[in-house]
Amino acid sequence: MRTGIGMRFVLMGAVASAQLALPQVARSQTRVMFVPSVTVSSVFDDNPFATTTGSADQLTLLTPGIAGLFATPVVNINGLYSFEMQRSVDHPALNNLDARRHGMLTAAFRQNSKSTITVDGNYDRTDTAGDLNFVTGLLLERRRAQRWQVGPSMVYQVAPRTIISAGYTWTNEGIEGTPAEDEHVVRADVTRQLSPRSAASVGYLERRFVNEIDTRTSYAPLVGWTYRATPFTRLTLQAGPRLSARGGIAPEIVAAFARKGTHLVGFGLDYWRGESITLGVIGPVEVNSATAQVTSPVIKNFALGLYGGFFNIDTISQGKARVYHGEILAVRSPIGPFVVALSYGADFQRGDVRTSLLSDETVVRHILRLRLIATPPRLGRSFQPEDPLELLRKPSHGANR
């Protein structure tokens, strides 16, 4: 579950993904492709240090990046890496040739029509720690932070209407001046197709939180239901009792209603209650979050997006915080490989997760950002093996992760 906080990376990834999209080709064809990109941004931030008393600044950012693709009938690998150079008008201490890094790698292995194995990996490092609070949306004082995440998963069709899925995700994150934490998540589900539009599932979720002080574990059996109202609209519900890592029984809930489709007005509504780690806090936190987003292709090559989110966070040390986030984004492709994006975002945070003594503390932040993204012509090639069936006969060595 990602929030609008991560939108600073989304545009470049979306452009690269569009450039890497595969046309309808013969299944035996192999493709190799690289897409370089560069983004120039002008940012007005009225509280770059995310403190109770803001100090506005004007920032200029330069973000080179490259995306890559390797695809065969058995293996599909996508990767993306970028870094950001930053120059400040009013705070020279913020000048940095390596202010942010972002890396992503996804590898999928499909040896036959019944099974698929996927490995996802993400790496982020930033001088603005709040950028990495994707789940909680918390605003944090400006300090360096980094985050690693690796997650193998598997989907296997045991019968025409029954699918088994399992996955494991390891997350390590740390902020300058505090110990790093690990989160290990194991999930398994059995899904049964009830009709062409609906499916039911039963599953199991386990989380383990590890830090320098202690180790805590939570467990939750889950029951789920999915209904596809139209080819582009889906409702998903999943819930169950959770033996919380914080002690006691609490509900684990996921609810989502979304519509996605080319040239359609899209929307998404979701609610989540669960546990997670978050930067700057020792131990697991309880999170209640509700988000909504709407995207609309207004005219050709021009689209608008609206995003809103509410996050309520409770910690083991009785610290509490509420975060409200709103963002509007306009994207225009005026000519060729260029994309222009204008966004405005606002955050309001009340409380402090580090202590219950600052429950009335407020932090407000407004960001206005103008981006010009350029993607030069992609570099790549396609080729056919001498025997079109050769790749299907060979085992996928990456299948056993």
Per-residue pLDDT 10s for the chain (401 aa) are 333 444 443 444 444 444 444 343 444 578 899 999 999 999 999 999 999 888 899 999 999 999 999 999 899 999 999 999 999 999 999 999 999 999 999 999 997 889 999 999 999 999 999 999 989 999 998 999 999 999 999 999 999 999 999 999 999 999 987 889 999 999 999 999 999 999 999 999 999 999 988 999 999 999 999 999 999 999 999 999 999 998 899 999 999 999 987 778 999 999 999 999 998 788 899 999 999 999 998 888 899 999 999 999 999 888 899 999 999 999 998 887 899 999 999 999 999 887 666 678 999 999 999 999 998 776 766 655 444 333 333 333 333 33
Chain Cα centroid distance, residue 22: 22
pLDDT score of 360: 82
> Phi/psi at 75 (nearest 5 deg)?
-125, 140
- What pLDDT is attached to residue 19? 43
Q: What per-residue confidence (pLDDT) applies to 358?
A: 67
Residues paired with 341 in a beta bridge: 331, 371
177 — alpha (psi -120 to 50), left (phi > 0) or beta?
left
Q: What is the pTM of this model?
A: 0.85
Q: Which two tokens stand for residue 386?
A: 């001498």
Of the candidates 91, 62, 135, the one whose C-alpha atom is nearest the C-alpha of residue 373 is 62
Which distant-in-sequence residues (6+ apart) come within 8 Å of 100 by Cβ?
A: 63, 83, 84, 86, 124, 125, 126, 127, 128, 131
Residue 293, pLDDT score: 95
The CATH number, out of the four listed (2.40.160, 1.10.10, 1.10.150, 2.130.10), of the domain defined by the range 4-399: 2.40.160
Task: Tell me the pairing of strands 145-159 and 75-88.
Answer: unpaired
Helix (H) or strand (E) holding 7: helix 7-20
Q: What are the Cα distances from residue 34, in Å, to 11, 17, 65, 109, 382?
A: 17, 11, 11, 20, 12
Coil, helix or strand for 398?
helix
Q: What are phi and psi of 197, to 5 degrees?
A: -110, -20
**Which pLDDT score is estimated for 178?**
81
Q: Any idea which residue has 């940095």 for tokens?
A: 96
| Residues β-bridged to residue 150 | 121, 170
